[in-house]
Amino acid sequence: MMAASNCTTAFCMQFLAQLANVVVDNNHHHHSAHSSIRYRPTGPSAPAISPLRFNSYSSIGSNIHGLNSLMLHPGSIEPPLTPGNYRLYSMRFCPYAQRVLIYLTKKNIPVEVVNVNPDRSPNWYLAKSPLGRVPALEINGKVVWESNVIVEYLDELFPSNSILPRDAYEKAHQKILVERLSPLMNALFEFYSSSSNHNAQRQNDANVHSALRNAENLLRDTFYGGRQPGFADYLIWPFIERLQLLTLTQTSTQFRYFPGLHYPKMGAYIARMQNQPEIKFTSRPLSHHKAYMDSFSTAEIASLKQEIAEMYKTLKLQREPISKCTKDLIAYCDDHLKEDFIVKTMIQSPDLPANPYIPRKCNLI
């Protein structure tokens, strides 16, 4: 089982949200409700608690509204929610939120997406999700969180097109597959959280190869769900999508293309998954993910280190080593910058944030 750990969207400060908005607005045309991809899924029957009318959506993803809405921070006003409407609280680069978006898209459930900062959430969101985590699903004041819980909840609410098999054994087998494929998730976290030295990168490559061998051996049909994508495919895909970033890193990784010649079944599988309408709609180009990571460039880090140095001068702590984070400094950060995690992380790791890619409070289940 994948070890749970807290991860943060320290990179989801306002400047990064604005960066993402520019990238999305300029390039991400395939998320438009007017997408040229034509797809007519069967609309599910609505549960008793929802008065929503399910339309015959002619374009994949046209049931999703607000996918690229601005991120909400402390002080942001809660958007009004129409009774009976579904709302997904998300963060655009969170793989766990993407799981739920894939499910909602496939099941053709109308939903409004509200993007929130999981690291520094508005107070009204903390009242809904006490840990401030995303994703969370709300309807009529009832909130469910944890990505794997949400998708099962959706299948219970809309059983007519359940993605999890109704047969108890097949359902259990799909859940087991998710557990057995967890090394792919672990490999992603380890690759982006470990040191960049040569030995660490060799170990990371070995971990990725081990995870791919495991995934190759477990793929015994067209998809992990059988002849069609299923529960296991949708829950593991967001991590496979991001693992492809290995080919764009400047580190000593041996991956020049993904997954490589040693994994022919996985290569064909990835191509098939990328062709699924619900995957096309919810996936983001690697260039977007890379831009997200590149926002933690050396220049940004140097700028933050300079701000820390200035704070030390203000507090007359010039003689304190930069590697020590004093209570006074953190109090100053809390009062003035409101970005204490960035400062703490920078002091703990002067070169790069401990984990610049995976958000701390993005669900790890």
Write down the pLDDT at residue 356.
37
Query: Residue 52 and residue 108: Cα distance in Å, rounded?
Result: 12
Write down the pLDDT at residue 3.
40
Write down the pLDDT at residue 157.
96
Q: What is the dihedral of CA 50, 72, 92, 96, to 10 degrees?
A: -60
* C-alpha gyration radius of the chain: 21
Strands 142-145 and 136-139: what pairing? antiparallel
Write down the pLDDT at residue 316.
47
Write down the pLDDT at residue 130.
87
Write down the pLDDT at residue 194.
66
Contact (CB, 8 A) for 282 and 232 = no
Q: Which of 94, 325, 333, 362 is catalytic?
A: 94
Write down the pLDDT at residue 287.
82
In one-letter notation, the amino acid at residue 173 is H
CATH 1.20.1050.10 fits 168-293, yes or no: yes
Write down the pLDDT at residue 36.
29
Contact (CB, 8 A) for 81 and 87 = yes
Residue 113 DSSP SS3: strand
Q: Where are the domains of the chain?
A: 10-161, 168-293, 298-348
Q: Which residues contact 181 (CB under 8 A, 6 or more apart)?
A: 214, 215, 218, 224, 232, 236
Write down the pLDDT at residue 190.
81
Write down the pLDDT at residue 18.
41
Helix (H), strand (E) at residue 136: strand 136-139
Query: Residue 69 and residue 62: Cα distance in Å, rounded?
Result: 15
Residues of the chain with pLDDT under 50: 1-56, 316-365
Query: Which structure tokens are listed for 139?
Result: 């309807």
Strands 87-90 and 64-65: what pairing? unpaired
Count of C-beta atoms within a 10 Å radius of residue 323: 9
- Percent of the chain's residues with pLDDT above 70: 62
* pTM check: above 0.85: no
Write down the pLDDT at residue 310.
62
Query: Which structure tokens are listed for 279?
Result: 């995957």
Residue 330 DSSP SS3: helix
Catalytic status, residue 7: no
Mean pLDDT (the chain) is 74
CATH number for the segment(s) 10-161: 3.40.30.10
